[in-house]
Structure 1
Amino acid sequence: ELLAPLIPNASRGRPRAEDRRVVNGMVYKIRTGVSWRDLPERYGPWKSVYTRFRRYAIDGVFTRALQQIQARADAAGDIDWLVQIDSTIVRAHQHAAATGRKGGSTARTNRTITPSADPEEA
């Protein structure tokens, strides 16, 4: 009932497969990770499910559905919008630590330099 108003109507051509069956096929594919060609026949032809999935993605059906679900959950008070991220538990990419070393040695970066009138003293 949530997706029904978001799904575009078929305007011409042969009658398409039942919307609920095709959407259930999409959900099955996403949840199980099965390839499109290996979808069970109870969801209709795999190519129909795939074609409709692509069309819905391009038309923004899934984005609008997520926005509606989020708005309903927010109105019901089911979403806590306060988020805190502690950087001590967020892992960096394995090469992230090496980025500061490119371009030469960093041994002299901690030396304190004081201005002097005589350049030889520095």
Structure 2
Amino acid sequence: MGKQLYWLSESEWKRIEPLLPRGRRGAHRVDDRRVISGIMHMLRSGARWRDCPPDYGPYTTIYNRFNRWSRQGVWSNIFYALTGSTGRVGTMSIDATHIKAHRSAAGAKGGTSSRRSAARAAGAPPKSTR
């Protein structure tokens, strides 16, 4: 069974290449097209970054580039150039309802009981004397 790798087409690459950050200091940057293809593959597959196929390069490079460009807002421009939408949702709803409960609140038996039944307690002599 062959790998199903994703590679940017020539037309997709021409649309996003002008949007990429340029003139950064530091180490020489690896092939942008390969890294972006790896990021798109990982986003589409939903797998862990560690499971990135080695054809795209080291998974740490793929993750670091995605993380850095996410903080800089580069991805919204790239997604808009590729799809015509930024992928942002206008409204969201988050339910943060929670209830604190004791660990034995699930109904399990809590141990031995020293209480007598009502029928036995009615006919028994009082426990204390006057």
Q: Is contact 1:10–1:16 with CA below 8 Å preserved after alignment? A: no
Could you tell me how far 1:67 is from its partner in structure 2?
Answer: 3.6
Trace 1:7-26 onto structure 2 (pairs within 5 A).
7-26=20-39
Residue by residue over 1:55-88, the C-alpha shift from the partner in whole angstroms, topping out at 9 and shown as x without a partner, is 11111112123344528xxxxxxxxxxxxxxxxx
Identity of aligned residues (%): 36
Choose 1 or 2 for highest CA Rg: 2
Query: TM-score with structure 1 length normalisation?
Result: 0.52
Matched, 1:47 2:65: no
C-alpha deviations, 1:84-116, integer Å up to 9, x for none?
xxxxxxxxx9xxxxxxxxxxxxxxxxxxxxxxx
Count residues with an aligned counterpart.
73
The change in CA–CA distance for 1:49 and 1:10 in structure 2 (over 3 A counts) is farther
- Structure 1 unmatched ranges of 5 or more: 72-92, 94-122
> So what's the TM-score if we normalise by structure 2?
0.49
Q: What is the aligned-residue RMSD (CA, Å)?
A: 2.2
Q: Which runs of 5+ in 2 are unaligned?
A: 1-13, 86-94, 96-130
Q: Which residue of 1 aligns with 2:48?
A: 35
Structure 1 outlier segments of 4+, above 3 Å: 66-69
